Amino acid sequence: MLAYIIRRILYAIPILIGVNLITFMLFFMVNTPDDMARSQLGAKQVTPEMIEAWKAEKGYDKPLFVNTEAKGVGMVTDTLFVQESMKLFTFEFGFSDNNRDIGNDIRERMGPSLAIALPTFLIGLVTNISLALLLVLFRGSVLDTGMMVVAVMIMSISGLFYIIAGQVLFSKIWHWVPISGFENGWEGAKFLILPIMIGVFAGIGSGVRWYRSIFLEEINKDYIRTARAKGLSEIRVLFGHVMQNGMLPILTGVVVVIPTLFMGSLIMESFFGIPGLGSYTIDAIHAQDFAIVKAMVFLGSVLYIVGLILTDISYTLFDPRVKLG
Amino acid sequence: MKQNMPISFIKFFLLFLIYMDIGCAGVWNSPHLASKSSEAVLFNPFSISPKHLDPVVSYSANEWEIISQIYEPPLQYNYLKRPYTLEPLTLKKMPDIRYYDRSGREVDSDSRNIAFSEYTLNIREDVRYQNHPAFVKTSEGELFYGALDEQSLLEVTSPADFSKQATRQLGAEDYAYAIKRMAVRQYHSPILDSMAEYIVGLKSFSEKITEIAKETKKTGEKLDLRQYSIEGVKVIDPYTLSIKLKGKYPQFLYWLSMNFFAPIPWEVDLFYQQKGLIQKNLTLNWYPVGTGPYMLVENNPNRQIRLMQNPNYHDDFFPALTPEEAEQSTLPKELLQEQGKKLPFIKEVVYSLEKESIPFWNKFLQGYYDASGVSSEAFDQAVKVSSSGDMGLSQSMKDRGISLASAIEPSVYYTAFNMVDPVVGGYSQSAKKLRQAISIAQREEEYISIFLNERGIAAQGPIPPGIFGYEEGEEGTNKVIFEWKNGKQIRKPIEVAKKLLAEAGYPNGISKKTGKQLTLYYDTTATGPDDRALLDWRRKQFAKLGIQLVIRASDYNRFQDKVRRGKAQIFSWGWNADYPDPENFLFLLYGGNASVKTNGAGINSSNYQNPKFDRLFEKMKTMENTPERLEIIRQMLKILQEDAPWVWGIHPKSLGLYHAWYHNVYPHAMAMNTLKYKRIDAQLRYQKQQEWNQPIFYPILLVLAGVVLIGYLLYRAYQNRQRAVIKGDQ
């Protein structure tokens, strides 16, 4: 397995270079370094001297991909792309255009993002699997049909509606929880209840439908019939056999998202005032802060690749027939 | 088992009621700590994280809202006096200004031979900085925390984490140091190039120090500016500073009230240049150090920024009016009662990030924010506009004791014609008439009503109300666009515009030369679905004259680029006052600032250039606010109104809502350091928060009952199913 993991990590390097290359091309296609300087300087009158000084300070005075003034390898290495990419591969994210240490900011923001994303993910997973099993238990009944209709309705409504409706109902009308905000430690628990509840609820529609279909595929298989023939209760059949065998396809979709939970949720964090990573990239795009954009795209790619590797590894845990070599 | 269930449920229910009873003692939905709500703490939101808190760089209102409470430039605006009046802040008196000719001989302020002006600043001796680790010194006078290593910074997350803190007196050297910092190009001061035109020696100093800064960056040394000096900036004694300017520049006094001229202690500058601190985001850009009424104690631009009263703050008192001024004054009584009281009143300020307007508005209504603006979404809920256009509070706001304060902002939003454009530009009679016709057709009053909920007034020229040169009534009416009838400004009928258009060579919008419909191009960044209505409205205004308007939408970068290069034909832009002087608005149309002429660096984006106007501007810009100056401004405005390089657009009106416990609010468009004058009645706030936010319990009981019932039904259904399976098997 170790050889497999090393191989996958090596495969990741050209992928990351490619992602980085695309990020550079797309960003600089829309924003020139002069535009970035004007946006960052924010002055009413931006003089050419100010622009040149800003570019020199931030290193944007270098050519993007080819340095015609350099010689030999320097033509490629003494460029913005190579210099910045090399730093990324050592996880040195550098400073944002407003002189904040990006690595430090990411570390600070990951916690709040996880405080929302992790419980939402775990509670959502348990809730969705439980509800899906319940529907499988009562398959073909009015409850099953009714719940499927409700699931489609939940899926059809925008997440933004649940957020605003949740804030109005639970905070504005019933005064149970704060509308938005964040605190570290246990004092902050009251701020997390509503976004987690809404996150879980908004995910029920798609989650239940998906897990239900997986479990329904299992429910009529021979080993289930055997389990029933042995006299096991329906609950034990579902939780002991159906769920365990249905886990493999579930893992494919679930494990891959675990590392990306760090990246947070844009809308949720904006509406609930959570100081996470959710809006970090979008804010940086608006502010034309390329240092943050490239760091976040790179980090997102790394986490996604890690998620895929973890998914592969998790297969071996749930299905002994799978061997990584 | 069956017999035990009701007992368990009753036990649970009783426990629940006890919990609810405890809960009644406070509110559950407060985003603040209960202890803070009952103290003199102001809760403010911020929607955009500040990017720079370094006074030499910062130039945004959201940043100045914070740093203006921390830093103290030499001058400030009097909070109560209108028109806006400067007064000393850290100075003993207003700067002493002397004028000199080329030979260095002193001349009168109205002399034609003024070559230099010298501003002498006498600094108060009772001003001390907030406590900060940078001021802690060794016995040799070196920084105690001047060589921090990684180990010593392990537990440090803010300057307050250092065990030793100290302060020191403010001196003239600190103001000189700030000007030297402004000169370092790598610090990106937005006013360096403007100031370099005036402060003697600043330009050459900047070139020199920028090179030195490059070297120190390479070698990793700290840049200590004490060893360098600017020719025109002299520290005469520890409390006297002299600044020498080229020529006469009366507006310099206004600059001295801005944060760019706030003092920077050398200790702080050197302290924050340490690599370990920079890596922890502990820099002057994020942890300002000042002498003001507040000091920054927490800075998480992604969540919360907290200011606390500065215990070292010098004597400062609520401004007092003379008995005559007080008698004539229309100021609210509560402001007059505060006169002479020691400042500041508020103990702590908590700024919380609120990116979305809906949660912010709801929290304001719950009493968790003390003040709010009026967003478009909340306008109908908050404000009632009478048929005569007067604004008042809605009944629901009045019931909560909320008050409304409004003020016309010293800003102008206009639609500019590119004067170098072959169709709409130029100074021929036909070009002027075309622009005048379009200006009449643009019903700005309609725009204000539809898109701004009456929050603004139609502009008559570039100068907004509150600025010298703005005149009300018939005298201030733009007679090209409006008529003065029955004591009101009435826009001229569309027929007048059509006539002008015909005289310009486009009868009914058809070109006499080509026989084709006149097509004009409007450049904009308004590309979203929300902007569609506005763009449709704009097309309609041109269509009234038979002119086809083509919208050319682009992103902001491309738009700016087009305007700079003079490639845009018609576009909208705006300007906020830096200082309350007509020069700050009329220079937007001064030929020397034309964008194309200055390779995009000039501020005159319409590229308007009229020699007569330029001559008058040059004369007016250095004058005091005298009747003679007003007369020149009138002539300048008349030229502008005739030439019509802009559709004069609007001056926006700002609205603010304030809870009953928020006192001493008196909108001041120029001053940003007004927090020290505000007062909070924390007891009333706490009482209202309790009254408005008591939790409602019955839904909890309903939810619990629902869960129990559903659980029971499912259990029964499962039992039945199991029985059916067993029966089936049998």
Question: Of B597, B631, B654, which marks where a domain is finished?
Answer: B654
Is residue B427 in a domain?
yes
The answer, yes or no, to whether residue B582 has pLDDT greater than 60, is: yes
Give per-residue pLDDT as tens, B170-215: 999 999 999 999 999 999 999 999 999 999 999 999 999 999 999 9
Please name the member of B190, B192, B560 whose beta carbon is closest to the beta carbon of A42. Answer: B190
The pLDDT value recorded for residue B175 is 98
Query: Are B138 and B80 in the same domain?
Result: yes
pLDDT digits (tens, 9 = 90+) for B145-173: 999 998 889 889 999 999 999 999 999 99
Which class does domain A106-318 fall in? Answer: mainly alpha
Inter-chain contact B695–A279, Cβ cutoff 8 Å? no
Report CB contact under 8 Å: B362, A167.
yes
Contact A50 B358 (CB under 8 A): no
In a domain, B346, yes or no: no
Same domain for B618 and B725:
no
Measured from the Cβ of residue B168, the count of other Cβ atoms closer than 10 Å reads 15
Q: Is B688 near chain A, with CB under 8 Å?
A: no
- Decide if B394 is inside a domain: no
- B356: which chain A residues are within 8 Å (Cβ-Cβ)? 180, 270-271
Check CB contact of B690 with chain A, cutoff 8 Å.
Answer: no
Partner-chain residue, chosen from A42, A47, A177, that has the shortest CB–CB distance to B60: A42
Look at A176 and B695 and tell me if their CB atoms are within 8 Å: yes
Interface with chain B: mutation pick from A30, A39, A44, highest number of B CBs within 10 Å? A44
Confidence of residue A174 (pLDDT cuts 50, 70, 90): very high
**Inter-chain residue contact A273 with B602, CB threshold 8 Å:** no
Q: What is the ipTM of this complex?
A: 0.88
Q: How far is B354 from chain A (nearest CA, A)?
A: 6
Please tell me the total count of domains within chain B. 3
Does B204 share its domain with B150? Answer: yes
**Cα torsion A48, A50, A52, A58: sign:** negative
Q: Which of A41, A181, A270 sits opposite B356 (nearest CB)?
A: A270
Instruction: Kindly state whether residues B713 and B617 are assigned to the same domain.
Output: no
Q: What CATH number did the domain enclosing B191 receive?
A: 3.90.76.10
Q: Which of B23-32, B520-529, B644-653 has the lowest mean pLDDT?
A: B23-32
Query: Do residue B362 and residue A179 have CB atoms under 8 angstroms apart?
Result: yes
The full 3-state SS of B211-243, as one line of letters, equals HHHHHHHHHCCCCCHHHCCCCCEEEEECCEEEE
C-alpha distance from B361 to closest chain A C-alpha (Å): 10
pLDDT in tens, B273-316: 999 999 899 999 999 999 999 999 999 988 999 999 999 999 99
Tokens encoding B413: 């939003």
Q: Measuring CA to CA, which residue among B294, B262, B227 is closest to residue B121?
A: B262
Comparing CB atoms, the residue among A49, A98, A273 nearest residue B352 is A273
- Which residues of chain B make contact with A53, given a CB cutoff of 8 A? 185-186, 188, 210
Q: Among B656, B663, B657, which residue's Cα sits nearest to residue B685?
A: B663
Q: What average pLDDT does the segment B641-648 reach?
A: 97
Residues within 8 A of A (CB atoms), B 268-297 only: 278-281, 283, 285-286
The stretch A143-166 carries a mean pLDDT of 95
Query: Element (H or E) spanning B545, and its range?
Result: none
Judge: A50–B302 Cβ closer than 8 Å, yes or no: no
Q: pLDDT per residue over B57-68, tens digit each?
A: 999 999 999 999
Q: Write down the pLDDT at residue A312.
A: 87
Closest-CA residue of A relative to B584 is A44
Same domain, B193 and B111: yes
Q: Which domain holds residue B18?
A: 2-24+695-729
Residues B699 and B638 in one domain: no
What pLDDT, on a 0 to 100 scale, did the predictor assign at position B349? 97
- Under 8 Å between Cβ of B119 and B95: yes
Q: Residue B114, exposed/middle/buried by CB under 10 A (0-12, 13-18, 19+)?
A: buried
Please, is B250 exposed, middle or buried when counting C-beta atoms within 10 Å of its C-beta (0-12, 13-18, 19+)?
middle
- Among the partner residues B29, B560, B721, nearest to A177 by beta-carbon distance: B29
In a domain, B315, yes or no: no
Judging contacts by C-beta atoms under 8 Å, the chain B residues touching residue A44 are 59, 190, 578, 603
Q: Please indicate if any CB of chain A lies within 8 Å of the CB of B602.
A: yes
DSSP secondary structure code for residue A173 in this structure: I
Contact A172 B279 (CB under 8 A): no
With contacts defined as CB-CB under 8 Å, which chain B residues touch A46? Answer: 190, 601
- Closest A-chain CA to B689: A175
Higher pLDDT, A59 or B539: B539
Model pLDDT, residue A115 = 94
Cβ distance of A99 and B285 shorter than 8 Å: yes
**Does the distance separating the beta carbons of B190 and A50 come in below 8 Å?**
yes
Q: Assess whether B6 and B61 both reside in one domain.
A: no
Q: Which stretches of A59-158 are DSSP H helices? A: 74-77, 80-89, 102-137, 142-156
Lowest pLDDT segment from A37-51, A288-302, B96-110, B574-588: A37-51
At CB < 8 A and 24+ separation, what contacts does A279-284 make?
A279/B355, A280/A105, A280/A106, A280/A109, A283/B49, A284/A96
Residues of chain A with Cβ-Cβ distance to B359 below 8 Å are 167, 179-180, 271-273
**How far off is chain A from B339, nearest CA to CA, in Å?**
37
> What pLDDT sits at residue B24?
42
Look over chain B and give the mean of its residue pLDDT values, rounded to a whole number. 92
Rounded mean pLDDT, A302-318: 87
User: Residue B533: inside a domain, yes or no?
Assistant: no
* B3 band by pLDDT with thresholds 50, 70 and 90: very low
H helices present in B68-171, as ranges: none
Average predicted confidence (pLDDT) for chain A: 90
CA pair distance B334, B336, nearest whole angstrom: 5
pTM: 0.89
Q: How far is A271 from chain B (nearest CA, A)?
A: 6
Tell whether B463 and B594 lie within a shared domain.
yes
Distance from CA of A145 to the nearest CA of B (A): 15
Residue A325 banded pLDDT, cuts 50, 70, 90: low
Q: Does B26 touch chain A (CB under 8 A)?
A: no
B510 DSSP β-pair partners: B517
Residues B158 and B266 in one domain: yes
**pLDDT for position B1:** 39
Residue B358 in contact with partner chain A when CB distance is under 8 A? yes
Last residue of a domain, one of B654, B678, B709: B654
Pick from B29, B283, B286: which is nearest to A178 by CB? B29
What's residue B12's pLDDT? Answer: 53
Q: Which of A31, A109, A143 sits opposite B557 (nearest CB)?
A: A31
Could you tell me if B115 and B68 lie in one domain?
Answer: yes
pLDDT score recorded for residue B375 = 87
Distance from B59 to chain A by nearest Cα, in Å? 7
Q: Decide if B141 is inside a domain.
A: yes
B303 at the A interface (CB within 8 A)? yes
Residues B20 and B89 in one domain: no
The answer to whether the CB atoms of B28 and A190 lie below 8 A apart is: yes
Tell whether the model's pLDDT for residue A46 goes beyond 90: no
Last residue of a domain, one of B233, B261, B281: B281
* CA-based nearest residue in chain B for residue A273: B354
Among A232-236, B567-571, B656-660, the least confident range: A232-236
Closest approach of chain A CAs to the CA of B186, in angstroms?
6
Contact list, A47 vs chain B (CB under 8 Å):
193, 601
How many CB atoms sit inside 10 A of residue B99's CB? 20
Read off the pLDDT of each residue in B476-501 and give the average, rounded to a whole number: 96
Co-location of B704 and B609 in the same domain: no
